[in-house]
Amino acid sequence: MKSKKSIIEAGINTLHAEAQAILGLIPYINDDFVSIVEQILAGKGRVIVTGIGKSAIIAQKIVATFNSTGTPASYMHASDAVHGDLGMIQKNDIIICISKSGNTPEIKVLTPLLKHAGNLLIGMVGQMESELAKHADLILNTSIDKEACPNNLAPTTSTTAQLAMGDALAVSLLMARDFNADDFARFHPGGSLGKKLYLKVSELAERNAKPSVSGDASVKDVIIAISKNRLGAVVVVDENHQVKGIITDGDIRRMLEKYTSLTDLTASDIMNNNPKKIDKDTLAVTAFELIREYNITQLLVTDAENYFGIVHLHDLLHEGLI
């Protein structure tokens, strides 16, 4: 069993080696890289990404990133390609073939077949004298000095370099397409990520009760309205249903501390006439930011100056936004 110190050193050394490898890729963001971005942007087909072994796993991740950021892409395993999957490639598709050595048997067999089909072939490769590098139309150079593995065998630094180069390409394409948060939301409608990008305050407020009282309502009526609707607040409105203020559980506690007699008090006497508000069309994640900033548990939701509803901290927790 290795010592705690040696284990920590191994982890740190691995991160240093991989970080240096990524920085070493900077000179390879060159004219070829620009040409690749331009070709993909101008292309009328998909980007087919292929590889073998660990490079195949990196290819799958790059495909997922492309698809989620506006570049249509498909994955093809290099071994399966020569057993029928070549049929998935259409004439307008662009192919990215990933290999550290560029000389594995599968890549040697596949490369001339890809060239014969006439598609643009991009080699993401770590050896510039390899078969893949020689046959590729354009190169994404992912050369490294050595693997982080102490035996210089297990793909570690090399796959990190491939992954980073794929991300650099995806982000460059994203920016060139002016791909924005609304576009991202269309491709990520599920889960908390999607909700942060599209879920609006109105959708939450509509699920809740809409407690309100008039300014001359008694304290008893106010307390009943707060307790009945379980939102910790009631909104004070005028005859036109415009917001005059809000009364929360905290306002009730402060009222009890301040007044000895409650007989003549009305909602107008105890309300907060400057409540924290949010427009119904605002993203729900913004509501959470305001609730956190002001250390409150609910926000008044408005439609212009009209009362629309209430959004509570629990609504945001339920949606997984926190």
Name the residue among 284, 59, 80, 316 with its Cα closest to residue 163.
59
Please tell me the distance from the alpha carbon of residue 134 to that of residue 114, in angstroms, as a whole number.
13
Name the residue among 212, 221, 227 with its Cα closest to residue 300.
212
Is 77 annotated to bind a ligand? Reply is yes
Please tell me the distance from the alpha carbon of residue 55 to that of residue 138, in angstroms, as a whole number.
18
DSSP string, 246-275: EEEHHHHHHHHHH-S--TT-BHHHHSBSS-
Say what the alpha-carbon torsion angle 77, 63, 124, 78 is, to the nearest 10 degrees: 0
Pairing of strands 277-279, 47-51: unpaired
Dihedral (CA of 178, 181, 183, 188) sign: positive
Please tell me the distance from the alpha carbon of residue 161 to that of residue 47, in angstroms, as a whole number.
20
Name the residue among 118, 132, 117, 136 with its Cα closest to residue 52.
132
Residues 6 or more apart whose Cβ sits within 8 Å of residue 312: 208, 231, 232, 297, 298
| DSSP secondary structure code for residue 218 in this structure | B
Is 138 in contact with 28 (CB distance < 8 Å)? Answer: no
Please tell me the distance from the alpha carbon of residue 81 to that of residue 111, in angstroms, as a whole number.
11
Q: How many CA atoms lie within 13 A of 44 on its CB side?
A: 3
Q: Binding site: which residues?
A: 77
Residues in binding site for Zn(2+): 77
